[in-house]
Amino acid sequence: MGNPSRVHAPLLGIEPFGAGVYRLRFYAERRFTRFLPGQFLHLALDNFDPQEGYWPESRVFSICSSPRKDEISIVYSVKGKFTARMERELTVGSSYWVKLPYGDFIIDSLVSPEDTVVLVAGGTGISPYIPFLENEIVAGSSRHIRLVYGLRSAPLCIFDEVIERACLQLPNFQLAIFTQDGTHLALTGPKVSYAKGILNVSALKPAGDFAGVVYFLSGPPIMIDTLKSDLLTLGVSREKIAIDEWE
């Protein structure tokens, strides 16, 4: 990818999911916002003056929209002063400065075609996987993909439509969902499993050995640290564990 672009992007929509979780949609022409699935952007709430060149305070968010659209989307959870400002101040129709793309948490660059890809997500940590799944669906991929997704509650599932299409259209896709309250999505079938409780390493073990399996971890730091340690203890090599660690 080239140098990051700074784009003044109109906010098209704010979609609340409850519990302080929101999806934001910005308009931005693809020629200014080319990114690879897994990369992230910087969002600023204060004005940026290109003549001065000083970038204001910002936060980073994984891009969760398809690379094929003139639109960029992010998901955020209210967890501190900056995201509290976002909840109070963001207004549909206003424009905000974003800077992108950044990051090397790029699935296609870290796996070979024959590898099994295990995507592990906690809460909004599912965001970087959505553009990858969108591309796999469009390509009619036969890659072996397993999504292991941990949520507080099923209604907080943000991308159920994309996940459902992956289940229906990707022949070697599997989904394992953990919810702390035991609730389920509407998704059912042989590709889908549910468990009550916190996502744990037992859901990540393959049927055979770990050869040809690459793990991607994205979510709360404590989840990532625990699962990485558990995978290493089980004998997974460090080179087969990729972490979305911009937080």
User: Average of pLDDT values for 69-76?
Assistant: 93
- The 10s digit of each residue's pLDDT in 144-155 is 999 999 999 998
Q: For the chain, which domains are there?
A: 5-102 (2.40.30.10), 107-243 (3.40.50.80)
How many Å apart are CA 156 and CA 232, to the nearest integer? 30
Per-residue pLDDT averaged across 90-104, rounded?
96
Q: From residue 65, how far is each of 37, 54, 59, 92, 128 by CA, in Å?
A: 9, 28, 18, 18, 9
Q: Half-sphere exposure (CA, 13 Å, Cβ side) for 168?
A: 9
Q: Report percent pLDDT > 70 for the chain.
A: 97
At position 113, the amino acid (one-letter code) is: P
Mean pLDDT, range 114-129, rounded to an integer: 95
Q: Reply yes or no on whether the pLDDT at 122 is more than 90.
A: yes
* pLDDT tens for each residue of 198-227: 998 888 877 666 778 999 999 999 999 999
Categorize the per-residue pLDDT at 64 as very low, low, confident or very high, splitting at 50, 70 and 90.
Answer: very high
At 224, list the tokens: 């990532």
If pLDDT is split at 50, 70 and 90, which confidence band does 156 have? confident
Assess contact for 107 and 37: CB atoms under 8 A.
yes
End-to-end CA distance of the chain: 22
More confident residue, 158 or 81: 81
173-206: per-residue pLDDT in tens? Answer: 999 999 999 999 888 889 999 999 999 888 887 7
Residue 2 has pLDDT above 70, yes or no: no
Phi first, then psi, for residue 190 (nearest 5°) are -65, -20
* Residue 40 near residue 64, CB atoms below 8 Å: no
Q: Which of 95, 83, 91, 69 is nearest to 6 (CA)?
A: 95
> Is pTM, for the whole model, over 0.75?
yes
Task: Kindly report whether the peptide bond that precedes residue 101 is cis, defined as omega within 30 degrees of 0.
Answer: yes
Q: What is d(CA 2, CA 17) in angstroms, rounded to the nearest whole number?
A: 34
